[in-house]
Structure 1
């Protein structure tokens, strides 16, 4: 229950911030253009909280259904307008002012992403270096000859610093290219080039973890099976395990590295495991029952023990990525632009069938990722918020009637034909747009439920 509430809170903050920013974009530009705003609402349906502020007594409200929001402006098409306020009606504004007001919402989302990325890049984050592990057999990484401990320094000629850099560059390449050249350096400081076939990503319709499909795993140092710490109240403490214990066998299987311990324990939630270990100069037999832990729909075992630190330097596996204020701003602009373009490309591939519609995510999946990123730290949570903000901006600019992009499409047609569309045409457009939006929402909810069931 505590995890559920944590994830729900993380999701609520993300959605709340993004909706407020989006709608405030509309509100601020409407006010600049002299349009009277009647209501600013976060959420739809009956207002559960409402206050009036300002000279216009604008209603500020929180709706019963929080997934979205709206800004209601004075408009003759919705209700009669007093003669002395006609100049403040939205429908009486020039087409360029209406374009500015409607476009301000999505642009506010892009601006938020830029500001968030700027702050994160300026502050700096500790990231994993792109050090590769031994790939599973019969995968693209195995076929490319990837070896445990190799660090990626370039992808398709572009320098990379972090694991996330490699992931992002490969996703970009997979949308157009059949393979990617990875320049790597091993622990002996030898440089090699690995040709990685990217077909596995496209063949699955871009479903699932792209790295997993390619066989790219993170480096796992061959740590000795020595316990460094036992958490209080954990299954390990109940079994009598202590710091300094060395595993010899679990369930009769010889233990060579800490990875063997992790593999066996994770596969045995709630099961009694016979453990043979060395403590001091004596061998000792114990029985341990791993606690059950739910992780993204999977049932895993956990003893609550950690490995003893070795001589592996932290700097070998992590890097702090930080920029000065000017470079951080440039990086933020670049990041926002690239993510926006990639989102559009993926949406286009969904329409053409190259990308599976099962990649479409709804509120449940977003809440899951919100909670996961929040647990990793504030920097990861903010970067997740920026990514969702970009997605919201891109989605709202699609030329679908009922969305901001649909209204912008009407205004472009109005400029071309030098006159507004007929009420009937706009009404038909709204009906089509609503049907498309409901269809997208249905797909997203179906995918969420399917992920929950299948894990």
Structure 2
């Protein structure tokens, strides 16, 4: 069922974002007096088409993009009366406007989505460390459960999302940075050197490796997976874990470390159930996660509901204030995306973070199952990523066309066709390589769990 939801969410996501992107090109082209021949959602074989005015509207078989085909002398002979409406006859500024209109449409769509989110009210988390893993880099530099991160390198942290984003941004520079921390003992500044901690590799697991979590977990078992090692040993939800291998369990991470590091090695557990003490010996199942063999009991902890409720906060703005908040969110997200891409080029961020259709479908499916507003937020983020990607100065992308038209504006003549043809081959190679890398990463994530 979850696979079906992911597929449907993926189709809806691509349909909305690509349609709006191409509508941007279409609308500006029409405003500039350019004749639009075809508006297509999807590539390849035509599945459905209809004629409206002078434009053929169609749905094609491969739902991974779309295009707007305009009248152009370079593609086909043009009747003399239509020459003023041919794309290649337009002033470079008009061509530039058409090229940038697609990404601009995605930016505006994201702005609209964030505006809806902010006037509806977004439930988010406070930047409070509800749990710090024992022995983790976070604990080693002095962070403790209950600490609040107020700033990272003087950038104010208001939510957990800010904390995660700013931490990744700071760590990806591979330079020391500072955390402004508020704790029960007062305010402090803690220096962090990413090269000496687990923050060296920038990927989705950075926060977990650093050892911090917004989830106020307890040492009480919340869930037991069917057919798991724990289920076989008759461990039940509600059991409280007192010790593992004789070591007191003051946090869930103590149990995780004892189990994950030694797959298929029996562990001794002391549990409390309804006031009675139970002794259990359990052999963890061996599983492979991201290429690493680890032990797994099949347990999930119970959250401290009172602390969890206190951890949550809601951001809600009036209609006018929401415009400013949405604009700031769009700008911050675009800046962060560009910074990560730039650091990926110089090797500070792993190319493993590039995801393809499977990753996109998983993101869309997960957020769709969480509700309308989480799905809307995912749409906004993907829309911004699509805008940034298309503005890269790569032939075949909008940014490549923008580069050609800018050169024409400066030199007073179009870029020679042989140069454009060579650029097209380079662009095809880049896009093919990027897609191959994305699909490889998708495949690796699937087989590694």
TM-score by length of 1: 0.82
Structure 1 counterpart of 2:154, from 138, 157, 182: 157
Structure 2 counterpart of 1:134, from 132, 151, 157: 132
Return closer, same or farther for 1:325/1:353 CA change in 2, 3 Å cut-off: same
CA distance in 1, matches of 2:64, 2:201: 28
Structure 2 counterpart of 1:121, from 118, 122, 147: 118
The reply to whether residue 398 of structure 1 matches residue 392 of structure 2 is yes
CA distance in 1, matches of 2:328, 2:21: 21
Return closer, same or farther for 1:266/1:390 CA change in 2, 3 Å cut-off: farther
1:286-435 equivalences under 5 Å are: 302=298, 307=302, 312-435=306-429
Shift of 1:104: 0.3
Conserved in 1, the CA contact under 8 Å of 2:224 and 2:298?
no
CA distance in 2, matches of 1:135, 1:223: 12
Name 2:194's counterpart in structure 1: 198
The reply to whether residue 225 of structure 1 matches residue 220 of structure 2 is yes
User: Unmatched 5+ residue regions in structure 1?
Assistant: none
Aligned pairs, number: 445
Conserved in 1, the CA contact under 8 Å of 2:354 and 2:438?
yes
Conserved in 2, the CA contact under 8 Å of 1:290 and 1:301?
yes
Conserved in 1, the CA contact under 8 Å of 2:216 and 2:308?
no
Conserved in 1, the CA contact under 8 Å of 2:40 and 2:66?
yes
CA distance in 1, matches of 2:216, 2:338: 39
374-383 vs 123-132, which deviates more? 374-383
Structure 1 counterpart of 2:203, from 207, 212, 237: 207
Shift of 1:418: 0.8
Name 2:30's counterpart in structure 1: 31
Shift of 1:197: 2.1
The reply to whether residue 95 of structure 1 matches residue 92 of structure 2 is yes
Shift of 1:65: 0.8
Return closer, same or farther for 1:390/1:200 CA change in 2, 3 Å cut-off: farther
Conserved in 2, the CA contact under 8 Å of 1:293 and 1:301?
no
Return closer, same or farther for 1:21/1:436 CA change in 2, 3 Å cut-off: same
Conserved in 1, the CA contact under 8 Å of 2:134 and 2:254?
no
Shift of 1:344: 2.3
177-186 vs 162-171, which deviates more? 177-186
Conserved in 2, the CA contact under 8 Å of 1:402 and 1:433?
yes
Conserved in 1, the CA contact under 8 Å of 2:217 and 2:302?
no
Conserved in 2, the CA contact under 8 Å of 1:401 and 1:432?
yes
Name 1:259's counterpart in structure 2: 252
SS in 1 for 2:132: coil
Conserved in 1, the CA contact under 8 Å of 2:264 and 2:286?
yes
Shift of 1:262: 8.0
SS in 2 for 1:401: coil
Give deviations 1:111-166, integer Å, cap 9, x for gaps.
11111112212222111212222244262x23321112212222223332211111
Return closer, same or farther for 1:248/1:262 CA change in 2, 3 Å cut-off: closer
Shift of 1:421: 2.0
CA distance in 2, matches of 1:252, 1:346: 42
Structural RMSD (CA): 3.9
Conserved in 2, the CA contact under 8 Å of 1:41 and 1:60?
yes
CA distance in 2, matches of 1:251, 1:202: 26
Give deviations 1:386-440, integer Å, cap 9, x for gaps.
1221111111111111111111111111111111122222222212221222122
Give deviations 1:14-52, integer Å, cap 9, x for gaps.
221111111010011111112221111111001111122
Return closer, same or farther for 1:341/1:261 CA change in 2, 3 Å cut-off: closer
Give deviations 1:342-363, integer Å, cap 9, x for gaps.
3223323333333333332221
Conserved in 1, the CA contact under 8 Å of 2:47 and 2:59?
yes
Shift of 1:338: 2.3
User: Unmatched 5+ residue regions in structure 2?
Assistant: none
SS in 2 for 1:225: strand
